[in-house]
Structure 1
């Protein structure tokens, strides 16, 4: 077990880029971590890490050893899961993640029905608008809204989601209905906080499909889509949200969609999971259970 532990520590150091960051993530004292890695190097008779006061890099031997260690650790994890019965019966804990509001509206009802149907499976549902790293954070499956840049993931598309611009009826009556996206530059807006000093909202020409990027200057910047929707309901300005973030307020008549003809192409919604050989039955059961229900909800 000591050798596997040392492999795990080395992989963590390589992934986090420093001993201190790996130690914090693993909750291992820095002195213990350094000693165990030194013991590993002594056992192998070669240097795996080059440490300076400013950075840490892998030697050529270290790069090869880390790649092999990852493969070995994945095989051990899979063997343990198989021995525990995860590949012969749907049981154990399933860790899921989804965007905060989407998870509350669409994923949580599916999870509740799934738990009733599969009493031997427990679920830990992480709701966050931050895209967690499925491998580093030990998450089994995630809902992702938007393009998928990570080729390590296996994806099942469950729908598409519109981007909508919306405002309160009173705001539209007071300021007039915007006719083109450029009209937003003269209107007050409520936006979800962006790293850009002047956020840009993307629209599309109805005829040609050409992209239109409109820089808006928000009267109010907030940190969550729910707050942006609420601000728009209160008449602060126009906001731009994914459709699910505004749909309840639109249904109640508190918001109305504007510039609908200029909406950009809808973005895909996927269930994704890491590609790690055979899928545990608890994951297969959830995928088969959740995908059609989410497709129906998003349809």
Structure 2
């Protein structure tokens, strides 16, 4: 087996976290993957992977070799891409991820239009209310709402969304409208884990962060579930501004505690740094960035837009 193939196998094991997952990614048998690693370690004269029955992780020598492998493989990938790629006709498979509701409303139409414009690109669209890990999950481009902590990615700022507190008119008619966040202790609450901690909601009072304990009647992990529960009067909830927008427009929800609105949340488009020269990624990023930056739901309404949170 040639050295480059052994490097590819080694990197796949680390990225995927197991021999089995690496074999599935590479279309090899698990035994073939194991033999390649044994051959590589024998040739180098050192152990690259520490194995247990449940985990596989690189040793110190493995971490150093991993970085070298990535540079070699990325150089080859970039060289091939720069020669083969037609900037006017990108090809390949593109994996895109976005939060469920934002993805359905604003990203999916752009993905569809991109697919029609570039028929040689196959698109895998993933919509989930969790922060996907680009390298580990094999994602090329991700729309992220919140803080960024992944140094292996390029981040393109798109704007901000606000975090607000919302209730159905029927809910407020029954229990009255809270005038201070601490009044929530007397109200039923619906905690949406994509925006708030289940037992603690964050507000802003006189420029300072104000955490408030709540006693949720319901905890959900999807925005549509939180919206439906709030609209049907189960309790007060916290949502991002774009999530609440349709219900506000038709009057089934109304904002509360607006003078205590917490900091706005940044929205970014991420792509993996080492894939930055890929024609399909470059084409998609250029295609969607301008449109998303003009989206009115990404324009923060107040001075909190200059700050980030979560």
Q: Confirm or deny that 1:237 pairs with 2:251.
A: no
Note if contact 1:92-1:120 (Cα within 8 Å) is conserved in structure 2: yes
TM-score (norm 1): 0.87
Residues in 1 aligned to 2:280 and 2:190: alpha-carbon distance in whole angstroms: 42
- Aligned counterpart, 1:248: 246
Aligned counterpart, 1:93: 93
How many residue pairs get matched? 296
| Distance 1:4-1:137 versus aligned 2 partners, 3 A rule | farther
Q: Is the 8 A contact 1:82 1:88 kept in 2?
A: no
Q: CA deviation at 1:86?
A: 4.8
- Give the aligned partner of residue 9 of structure 1: 9
1:260 aligns with 2:238: no
Within a 5 Å distance, the mapping from 1:161-180 to structure 2 comes to 161-180=161-180
CA distance in 2, matches of 1:34, 1:256: 59
Structure 1: gaps spanning 5 or more residues: none
Which of the residues 263, 272, 291 maps onto 1:293?
291
The offset of 1:23, in angstroms, is 5.1
Q: Is the 8 A contact 2:276 2:282 kept in 1?
A: no
Residue 272 of structure 2 aligns with which residue? 274
What residue ranges of structure 2 are gaps of 5+ in the alignment?
A: 300-310
Q: Deviations over 1:2-35 (max 9, x none)?
A: 4222212222333455545655666754433322
Give 1:123's aligned residue.
Answer: 123
1:264 to partner: Cα distance: 0.8
TM-score by length of 2: 0.84
SS at 2:210's partner residue? strand
Hey, what does 1:82 align to over in structure 2? 82
Identify the residue that residue 71 of structure 1 maps to in structure 2: 71
* 1:11/1:70 contact within 8 Å kept: yes
User: Is the Cα–Cα contact under 8 Å of residues 155 and 271 in structure 1 kept in the other structure?
Assistant: yes
Give me the whole-angstrom Cα distance separating, in 1, the residues matched to 2:59 and 2:282. 39
The answer to whether the 8 Å contact 2:191/2:197 transfers is: no
CA shift digits 1:266-285 (9 cap, x unpaired): 11111111112752333333
Matches within 5 A, 1:28-43: 28-43=28-43
Match of 2:303 in 1: none
- What residue in structure 2 maps to residue 200 of structure 1? 200
Rate the CA distance shift 1:23–1:199 in 2: closer, same or farther, 3 A: farther
Q: Is the 8 A contact 1:7 1:69 kept in 2?
A: yes
Moved more, 161-170 or 34-43: 34-43
Change in 2 beyond 3 A, CA 1:157/1:7? same
- Give per-residue Cα distances to partners, 1:19-72, cap 9 Å, x unaligned: 456556667544333222111222334433344667655455433322211111
Offset at residue 129 of structure 1 (A): 1.6
How far apart in 1 are the matches of 2:58 and 2:26?
20
CA distance in 1, matches of 2:237, 2:105: 20
